[in-house]
Amino acid sequence: MKFSCDKASLSEAVNSVLPAVSAKSTLAALECILLSVKGDTLSVVGYNTELGITKTVSVTGAENGDIILSAKLLSEIINRMPQGLLKIDVDDKLITEISGGSAQFKIVGMSAEEYPSIPKIDPEHSFEIENSLLRSMISETLFAVSQDTSFPALTGTLFEGKDGVLTLVSVDGRRLAMRKEAAGCEEDFKFIVPGKTLSEFMKLSARFSSSEEDGSLKVSIGVSARHILFSCCGFTMISRLLDGEFIDYNASIPQTASTKAVVSTRALMDCVSRAAIIISEKVQNPICAYFENGQIRVSCETSLGKIDDAVPAEITGNPLRIGFSDRYMLDALKASGGDQVLLEMGATLAPIKIMPLEGDSFTFLVMPMRLKE
């Protein structure tokens, strides 16, 4: 096998697949990157049996073949090679020569036959969605994914398609984040994508969205019974789906409210951020909020000090006193993205529901914290 390729293109490909390479494994091949040449196309692959990333690159002077090389060694060599054209030549004994400019390396590879096969999925469901929209939906729900592995299904985000609308939902027991957008899904479906996969997708998609007109980029998504495949701009990412039943999130969302408040998102974020200054991460004291008389009065008292503050708001319904976590409230307000939000509450120990002023493109729930009388 041999080929020539621009250093920048090869470096981008190798660095892009590294998140799918095992840092340490009993199977040496999983610590490697697969290079495969067919025609004038090089496929660079990282795969750890849970997540796989592939990037295709155009090459010249190619001879078909494949090899696996240490990911750590290959990435360090490529990244430190001089700019310009690099040549890679593999002999019959798997000795791999990497040359460019005045530099030349020779390293030992392994047979590609030792590399685990990436699943070939036959999609049961497939659709396309704008990259910018998908990134927005993921970023505005990913923060609420549970870290508790005793409930595996909640360590991912639910993707649900119904009547042409795509809904993403994340829940961690103390909060809920939901985003809805029309996405042209022609079929109804439900599946759960691991939070780790979505985190890596966000990093990967930032690579190609920064170099193209993001609004025109489409991500193709294919889903089988056990895997999901994301494809765009020569990148593909394949991941296992999570097993198990997701919670009935609709039953968790209150449908009535006795108190409502329309407030500036930025003003409330600033107010909560000020209160958070005196909250210890170890103790996590609640912030107390009073909804009455055209304002949200915020107070908090900890071993570090005390704060009283207020934000003007349009309040309707009953006056209410409620406690909440500063971090969970800030995460939800930040994800809302709008100038104003609508807060709905039913009682002191009922969830705080955060929505847009019009429509239902997002819904965030923040569970209350018990206050001292």
DSSP 238-279: EEEPPPSPPP-HHHHS-S--SEEEEEEHHHHHHHHHHHHTT-
Output the furthest CA–CA distance in the chain (Å, rounded): 81
d(CA 69, CA 94): 10
pLDDT of res. 281: 79
d(CA 373, CA 371): 6
Strand order in the sheet with 95-100: 60-63, 2-6, 85-90, 95-100, 103-108
Phi/psi of residue 114, nearest 5 degrees:
-85, -5
| Distance, C-alpha 105 to centroid of its chain | 37
H-run or E-run covering 71:
helix 71-80
d(CA 240, CA 134): 19
Distance between first and last Cα of the chain: 74
User: Parallel, antiparallel, or unpaired for β 320-324 and 287-292?
Assistant: antiparallel
d(CA 312, CA 261): 10
161-164 contact pairs (CB < 8 A, 24+): 161/125, 161/127, 161/185, 161/187, 161/188, 161/189, 161/190, 162/188, 163/188
> In the chain, what are the domains?
2-114 (3.10.150.10), 125-249 (3.10.150.10), 253-366 (3.10.150.10)
CA-atom Rg of the chain in angstroms: 25
H-run or E-run covering 180:
strand 175-182
Amino acid at 12: E
pLDDT of res. 9: 94
A 10 A CB-CB count for 311 gives: 19
Q: Does residue 371 contact residue 286 with C-beta atoms inside 8 Å?
A: yes
pLDDT of res. 211: 52
pLDDT of res. 64: 96
d(CA 37, CA 48): 21
pLDDT of res. 356: 97
Local structure of residue 217 (DSSP, 8 states) = -
Mean pLDDT, the chain, rounded, equals 93
On the CB side of 47, CA atoms within 13 Å amount to 23
Q: Does residue 272 contact residue 329 with C-beta atoms inside 8 Å?
A: yes
Q: How confident is the model at residue 210 (pLDDT cuts 50, 70, 90)?
A: low
Which distant-in-sequence residues (6+ apart) come within 8 Å of 22 by Cβ? 30, 31, 48
A 10 A CB-CB count for 32 gives: 27
pLDDT of res. 196: 96
Q: What is the mean pLDDT of residues 214-230?
A: 88
Q: How confident is the model at residue 209 (pLDDT cuts 50, 70, 90)?
A: low
pLDDT tens, residue by residue, 44-60: 999 999 999 999 999 99
Which distant-in-sequence residues (6+ apart) come within 8 Å of 204 by Cβ? 16, 19, 53, 235, 237
Asked whether the predicted pLDDT for residue 185 surpasses 90, the reply is no
Asked whether the predicted pLDDT for residue 213 surpasses 60, the reply is no
Pull the structure tokens for residue 318: 């009953």
Asked whether the predicted pLDDT for residue 12 surpasses 90, the reply is yes
Q: How confident is the model at residue 231 (pLDDT cuts 50, 70, 90)?
A: very high
What is the torsion angle, in degrees rounded to the nearest 10, for the CA atoms of residue 331, residue 335, residue 338 and residue 342? -60
Structure pTM?
0.91
d(CA 181, CA 160): 11
pLDDT tens, residue by residue, 248-305: 999 999 999 999 999 999 999 999 999 999 998 788 899 999 999 999 999 999 999 9
d(CA 306, CA 2): 68
Q: How confident is the model at residue 25 (pLDDT cuts 50, 70, 90)?
A: confident
Pull the structure tokens for residue 365: 């729930």
Q: Is 128 left (phi over 0), alpha (psi -120 to 50) or beta?
A: beta
